[in-house]
Structure 1
Amino acid sequence: MMFGQKIIDYEKSIDDTKIVVIGGGTGLSTILRGLKAFTSNITAIVTVADDGGGSGVLRHDLGMIPPGDIRNCILALADTEPVMEELLQYRFKEGILKNQSFGNLFLAAMDGISENFMEAVRKMSYVLAVKGKVLPVSLDKITLKAKLKNGQIVSGESNIPKAVIESRSGIDSVFIEPKNAKALYEAVIAIREADIVILGPGSLYTSIIPNILVNEISDELYKTKAVKVYISNIMTQRGETDGYNVSEHINAILNHAGKDIIDYVIVNTGTIDKELEKRYLEEEASIVNFCEKEINNLNIKIIKGDFVKVKNEHVRHDADKISSVIMKNFIDI
């Protein structure tokens, strides 16, 4: 393991260290659960490009920012009883609310009694005693689009993987509309004042990159003096990163940011059992491999470890191990 440069001294407490985590989906909320065991000084900056599932329904019906990823991050950082989390994660099984999350409806109701979506997020965070902050990357209504390698343009975050699979053509690039979407001011300041900024893990093109397509975010990531760490995915994702290795993940981020915004990459060296690997291969997904030389050529330092955790037959990052590695490498604990 290659150890990073410590960013605080022994006279400074862990809670004085400002950590910003950027992404979306289950990957972001997973890492937040691990980090909150060490510190409450966490800010999550969350993509707002989601347009599928229950979030997509509320986005289209109510014209609100999609609440799903925000909800998951709030719950990840909340100090609440298990029954409350179970309630907020509950999905209705029938009727017009089928597949809708109660937590989404809760946040939608908060949005209805608030001046804007950010105020709704603050109110929900207060009610659930959140440790840290959860911030949408923007309050603009952002649509994610992709240009495939065959030249096809696909509109909508949820449509991109489907189009890749159907056309058998990979993603060339993604972009957002409006192109001049304005970053939430609090998100910009959080990056500017951060000691550590973490990208990922999560869906490369639909959870991580949409955040850095907001110009002020990529600009601040380039200018910040924080240590910038990318947590690479453990498995490839069908319709997004088929066959990608770690350096291809990194290059996609750097190409979309237009500048160098990664200092370290955390990569997985763990394996999964043959039966589970076979099931993933049947779904056209596999473990993300890495070549140290390729990553070193990008002037990015590598931190390696076995971070595999299997839950309900799905491969996830072990949030406790990842968080411990971050603390030990960059913070004196």
Structure 2
Amino acid sequence: MGRSARAETRPTMPDSRTVDIPADRQCRITLTQSRVVPDPIRLARYLRAPEIGPTVLFFSGGSALRKTSRVLTEYTHNSVHLITPFDSGGSSAKLREAFPMISVGDLRNRLMALADTALLGNPEVYRLFNTRFAKDESQTELRRLLSTMAAGVDPLVAAVPEPLRTLIRNHLGFFIERMPLTFDLRGASVGNLILAGGYLNNNRDIDAVIFLFSKLVAVRGVVRPVVDSNLHLSAELADGTVVVGQHQITRPESPLSAPIRELRLTEAADGSEGLAEAHIDERTAELIDEAELICFPIGSFFTSVMACLLPAGVGRAVARAGCPKVYVPNCGEDPEEAGLAPHDQVRLILEQLRRDAGEDTPTELLLHFVLVDSDRGEYVGGLDVDAIEAHGVEVIDTALVSEATAPLIEPRRLVDLLLSLV
């Protein structure tokens, strides 16, 4: 297999084995190489030293990448996960309405997926963060239960070792102090309440909260929202209908009346305040620039992958990054795709990236590979390899789906393929 991709030399701290090259003498070069994938030698090297494993960056959200993230921690502790913060349903919706803020549910999900569950106390934290209050319990009883958690009396909290227990209690206590009297705790995610309390207690600095929890539960990677902006998703459908709110776009029990024509951002959950813009910050741009591989992964196509590409600066940063860029279409059914075939998905990803990077940006700067399994994969709209490659990308057709996971992609096979491209 051949590929062409830009590789960028980066400054390193001088030591006895390196030479400090002035910035004006550093250069950008193009490398062409052949590689067999999966690469067992390369993978064995990563397994031996995951703490210095490759920096693979994912634009994602939701739970589709949870199992893949757990496998990924065996090979590298340096993966980067830029998560969409625009969810507007369930527990997140109640928090966003009470405290105008980003959604923290998908952040919690990915933090727990990357946490070292073998570390003392982490299984207890995992159980607590994934606990939800009953939907049929009285508000009085749920408030009492929340108070026992903040006091450290509840068995789930009492099982968490120090110092994490004190941190959790403090955040829950702060949340209780700020919680409106009308706040509905039915079905609330305890992990979301803890993160929301920390967010409010740290002057709405989500990075500070994520950093602290990442250290305490040994998160094997970097997790952050693609933007820290309190915005919502708005989808214009092919029949002219406008649907506002991620929860309205993704409802499997109520399919959309027509395919999605365009995804946008809006200020208000009801769409009353018109369209909005968000811009990635310098840290997010750095993470994209420093990636050794960029992946647009499996997951809800519009509300996870495309939503992460909406903020200004994403397309330009992807185009600058001198690394392989890979798209992995879903196998199986995604209600959002509504017959949208993989080659059309590739077209939409390129169009969205070019809206920011520039309409004349070459495909080779935005996307190199599309991973498919023509034998066992089931693709909405059918798989047309020639149509995908007509966009200027290379298709890697290999065994991604196992007998046990069919028609879905097997996480370990996906990780092996991605890391073999680094």
Q: TM-score, normalised by structure 2?
A: 0.68
User: Equivalent residues in 2 for 1:120-139 (5 A)?
Assistant: 120-139=209-228
For residues 303 and 368 of structure 2, the distance between their equivalents in structure 1, rounded to whole angstroms, comes to 22
The CA distance in 2 between the partners of 1:104 and 1:293, in whole Å, is 44
CA drift of 1:236 comes to 3.0
Task: Kindly provide the amino acid, as one letter, of the partner of residue 244 in structure 1.
Answer: L
- Residues 184 and 314 of structure 1: CA distance in aligned 2, closer, same or farther (over 3 Å): farther
Aligned residue number for residue 241 of structure 1 = 337
RMSD of aligned Cα (Å): 2.9
TM-score of the aligned structures, taking structure 1 as reference length = 0.85
2:95 pairs with 1:58: yes
Residue 233 of structure 2 aligns to a residue whose secondary structure is strand
Does residue 319 of the first structure (1) align with residue 411 of the second (2)? yes
Deviations 1:251-272 (A, max 9, x none): 1212222253211111133538
Find out whether 1:232 has 2:324 as its counterpart.
no
Q: 1:310 to 1:252 in 2, by over 3 A?
A: farther
Please say if residues 136 and 184 of structure 1, whose CA atoms lie closer than 8 Å, have aligned partners that are also in contact: no
Q: Distance in 1 between matches of 2:110 and 2:403?
A: 21
Change (3 A) 1:204 1:244: same
Residue aligned with 1:147, SS:
strand
Q: In structure 1, what is the equivalent of residue 132 of structure 2?
A: 91
* Larger RCO (alpha carbons 8 Å, 6+ apart): 1
**Would the aligned equivalents of 2:101 and 2:229 in 1 still touch at CA under 8 Å?**
no
Q: Deviations 1:73-116 (Å, cap 9, x if unpaired)?
A: 10111113434322211222233433221211121121122131
Following superposition, which runs of at least 4 residues in structure 1 exceed 6 angstroms of deviation? Answer: 9-14
In the alignment, what sits opposite 1:252? 348
Choose from 397, 415, 418 the match for 1:304. Answer: 397
Q: Deviation at 1:308?
A: 3.3
Number of the residue aligned with 1:280: none
Structure-2 residue corresponding to 1:17:
54
Decide whether the 8 Å contact of 1:22 with 1:200 is kept in 2.
yes
**Counterpart amino acid of 1:323?**
V
SS at match of 1:75: helix
- After superposition, the Cα gap between the structure-2 partners of 1:142 and 1:297, relative to the gap in structure 1 and judged at 3 Å, is same
Equivalent residues of 2:338, 2:380 under 8 A apart: no
Instruction: Give the aligned length.
Output: 314
Deviation at 1:40, TM superposition (A): 0.7
CA contact (8 A) 2:337 2:380 kept: no
For the pair 1:216 / 2:313, whether they are aligned, the reply is yes
CA distance in 1 between partners of 2:407 and 2:281 (Å): 33
Instruction: Sort the Cα spacing of 1:125 and 1:33 in 2 relative to 1 into closer, same or farther, 3 A.
Output: same
1:190 CA displacement: 0.5
| Whole-angstrom distance in 1 between the partners of 2:301 and 2:384 | 19
Q: Measured at CA, do residues 315 and 82 of structure 1 come closer, stay the same or move farther in structure 2, by a change above 3 Å?
A: farther
2:294 equivalent to 1:197: yes
* Separation in structure 2 between the aligned mates of residue 155 and residue 204 of structure 1, nearest angstrom: 16
Where does structure 2 lack aligned partners over 5 or more consecutive residues?
A: 4-32, 36-40, 138-183, 267-274, 355-360
**More helix by proportion, 1 or 2?**
1
Q: Which residue of 2 aligns with 1:268?
A: 373
Distance 1:27 1:187 in 2: 22
Identity of aligned residues (%): 24
Structure 2: distance between partners of 1:135 and 1:310:
34
Gaps of 5+ in 1: 278-285
Q: State whether residues 270 and 307 of structure 1, in contact with CA within 8 Å, keep that contact through their aligned partners in structure 2.
A: no
- 1:13-49 deviation digits (Å, cap 9, x = unpaired): 7725321111111123333222211011111100111
Pairing 1:289–2:376 present: no
